[in-house]
Amino acid sequence: MKETRLTLAGAALNQTPLDWDNNLQNIQEAISEAISRNVDILLLPELCITGYGCEDLFLSPWLGDAAFQRLLQIKDWCDGITVCVGVHIWIDKQVYNTACVIKNKEIVGFTAKQFLAKDGIHYEPRWFTEWTANQVGEFEMQGQKYSIGDLIYEEQGVKYAFEICEDAWRPNRPAERHMAKGVQLILNPSASHFALSKTDVRYRLVVEASKKYQCAYLYANLLGNEAGKVIYDGEVLIAQNGNLVKRNELLCFKNVDMEVAEVTFTDMPATEETIIHYLPPIDENKEVMAALSLGLFDYMRKSFSRGFVLSLSGGADSSLCGVAVAEMVRRGIESLGVLGFVAKTQLFSLKDAAHFDTLTPEVAARELVGRLLTCAYQGTVNSSDDTYTSAKELAQSIGALFYSWTIDEQVQGYTSIIEGALERPLTWAEDDVTLQNIQARVRAPSIWMLANIKGALLLATSNRSEAAVGYATMDGDTAGSISPIAGIDKAFIRQLLVWCQTDLGYEGLQYVNKLQPTAELRPAKEAQTDEKDLMPYEVLNQIERLAFYDRYSPQEVYTKLLDAGVADGETIKGWLAKFYSLWSRNQWKRERYAPAFHLDDYSLDPRSWLRFPILSGGFKKELNNMKNS
């Protein structure tokens, strides 16, 4: 029985669209590390030269030319090693998403992606053309001819081939054909976005494929917040015949995260029965905090911002945003060390770095939060002592800079202008929404001033549940540079805050965790709460998911909720009428929200996951039919 041992490596890279220097530096670092570790084949992620998130620039021919020039530069770094690099290629006005194989400074060929991602947040068919299975072609670039298509490669007698990201998620995936051709190794360069619990699906996809196709499987994903909204977990997997060989820790703060393993190939198929060991259940609280913290860190440094400013109301949403920044610092230090984290922010002087180097990680983290996060509580006569205490105690507990002021004078100024124009007083009985909105809207200018002065990002605090029904004031609590928690619902946020207090030790959250969510915009005697204004958040989330993830009609949603015993029929009908009417009239708000991270398996972002008309019939016919059923 012939045996061949290959040393395989996969490297997750933290790339940025069009940032040639950063992207090539990371690629060169990965290649150098692989060469130093005597790697035979190094796999780099999908479209890692340009960055995956170039979007419509992929349709610009000059970008293809620029990427190919960088590919030729990378080629010369591959001395005595085989490196697989993601790059797009133009052929006859068609653009192909490919993996280029470079062996010992020579380009061997290009494998083109066969299945393009076109659901959820993905729009690949807008830019790329799918390659036909079993087809091999040729193209010329700068006087040199290259092979492209559904190619089989060989390394020391071991045949290998590719599945590029989405290719592996389809029933008729390329691996189905490759096994019959004697392929023993599948390489998968990916740009697979983060979503809660998605890594478990991906892990099964890789390990089960290695068993089914009796092969070794090498997978490498992008890492970090690449282009603003999408976060990549940087997963690297090496498996063989159903056994996991190597897997890295996800969502780290490194630029390059590599896993290396020696794998033995034989000319005899595996005969023993393999038991696949799956990952333990995923802790989604831990997972989402890791994604939030890395997403914020990359957004801050790639936008060249000097930290964050937050209007800290003492409520759940703003409190989570504050803790996310604190976790960003803690996890960053844990991943990079104090000096590594400080250096990567590119915000501090050598004198500052020397000072932080004298501190323990815990003390350094607290001081860095004070440098990177500024909070302000903006109270009115309708604000309570409870929310002030909640905001102040949280800010102090994490070390954030904290200000407090009132905005009653500004609210009264705007109110007086309109009262004078209308020649009548504004009253809660007649002008409820107006009087609520002006309080939220008046908070925006001052907090924006702080953000401008500090050169910092203003954190918007809207969540997905509020977005669904427009329970937010445009140019008020929606104001911001980035809306980090807009991709998760309010019920999840509330339990996440409890977990942050009990499991992560953020004791400053004890105050907000005792409060009922409230906008605090009506007089205190009315005891305003979000759920009184809307409906129970758990119900709102169920309706939202059934309507726009499962795509049921209003009547079908009603039946599902009734069958589940959520409430009596009339109560459910009332909730659905409110939900669909608020949903329809508030699409314009969702169009204007600050950019948000994609964190769950779906979102309401009309610029990525879910498109809906700004003007519509508002489900009137459907709701009327349901009412009469």
Q: In angstroms, what CA-CA distances link 273 with 211, 212, 237, 483?
A: 10, 11, 21, 49
Structural domains in the chain, CATH included, are 3-266 (3.60.110.10), 283-512 (3.40.50.620), 533-600+608-629 (1.10.10)
d(CA 186, CA 178): 9
Residue 1, pLDDT score: 64
Neighbours of 143 (CB within 10 A): 5
d(CA 468, CA 488): 11
What is the SS3 assignment for 262? strand
Q: Concatenated DSSP letters for 279-321? A: PPPP-HHHHHHHHHHHHHHHHHHHTT---EEEE--SSHHHHHH
Residue 523, pLDDT score: 81
What is the SS3 assignment for 261? strand
For helices 569-585 and 554-563, give the axis angle rounded to 10 degrees.
140
Locate 444 and state its tokens: 């925006």
d(CA 504, CA 497): 10
Element (H, E) at 452: helix 432-454
Model confidence over 226-248: pLDDT tens digits?
Answer: 999 999 999 999 999 999 999 99
Q: Concatenated DSSP letters for 233-245? A: E--EEEEETTEEE
Locate 148 and state its tokens: 């492209």
State how beta strands 308-311 and 41-43 pair.
unpaired
Element (H, E) at 11: strand 3-13
For 110, counting Cβ atoms within 10 Å of its Cβ (0-12 exposed, 13-18 middle, 19+ buried), the class is buried
Amino acid identity of residue 93, one-letter, is K
Burial code of 575-602, b = ≥16 C-beta within 10 A, e = fewer? Answer: bbbbbbebbbebbebbeebbbbbbbbeb
Locate 2 and state its tokens: 């012939």
d(CA 580, CA 583): 5
Neighbours of 62 (CB within 10 A): 8
d(CA 40, CA 31): 11
d(CA 601, CA 609): 10
Q: Where are the beta strands (DSSP E) in 35-93?
A: 41-43, 82-91
- Cβ atoms 611, 605 nearer than 8 A: no
Locate 524 and state its tokens: 């205190």
Residue 271, pLDDT score: 58
What is the SS3 assignment for 565? coil
Could you state, in chain order, the average pLDDT of each consecutive group of 10 residues for the chain (629 residues)?
92 98 98 98 98 97 98 98 98 97 98 96 96 96 95 97 97 93 97 96 96 97 97 98 96 98 87 75 96 98 98 96 98 97 97 96 98 97 94 98 97 97 96 93 96 98 94 91 96 97 97 86 77 91 97 97 96 96 96 95 93 95 91
Q: List alpha helices for 423-520, DSSP H.
A: 432-454, 464-469, 490-502
Residue 277, pLDDT score: 80
Cα of 58 vs its chain's centroid, Å:
21
Using alpha carbons only, give the angle 89, 164, 155 rounded to the nearest 5 degrees: 90
Element (H, E) at 69: helix 61-75
Best CA proximity match to 96, nearest among 152, 146, 154, 171: 146
Q: Which residue has the tokens 């007698």?
A: 157
Residue 149, pLDDT score: 96
Locate 217 and state its tokens: 């499987």
- Cβ atoms 356, 530 nearer than 8 A: no
**Three state DSSP letters for 339-357:** HHHHHHHCCCCHHHHHHHH
Cα of 169 vs its chain's centroid, Å:
20
